[in-house]
Amino acid sequence: MDNVNKVGAYLQSELKTILEKSAAAKEVRGEGFIQGINLEIPARPIVDEAWGGRAVIDQDTVVRFLPPYLLEEKACG
């Protein structure tokens, strides 16, 4: 559970960075690895383009992220 809490907090932080840069994103919410972005616009076209439909859409405007619990934080670059 330590990894879920640590990496989940990192995931939420990164999603909030997206929120700050996007006029279409209203809110990031979640706990641990279960995270979601609430959008001002329909989510389906974004998910289809970016992830080939592999994310879950809630209520037409929420993209929900459910990564596997073995996910690890990695440095990019």
Residue-wise pLDDT for 22-49, tens only, equals 888 999 999 988 999 999 998 888 777 7
For residue 39, what is the enclosing H or E element? strand 34-39
* Contact predicate 12/30, CB 8 Å: yes
Record the pTM: 0.71
Q: Helical H runs in 1-77?
A: 2-21, 44-51
Alpha carbon distance 14, 48 (integer Å): 21
Domains contained in the chain, CATH given? 2-65 (3.90.1150.10)
- CA 43 from chain center: how many Å? 12
Cα–Cα distance measured from residue 32 to residue 40, given in angstroms and rounded to the nearest whole number: 24
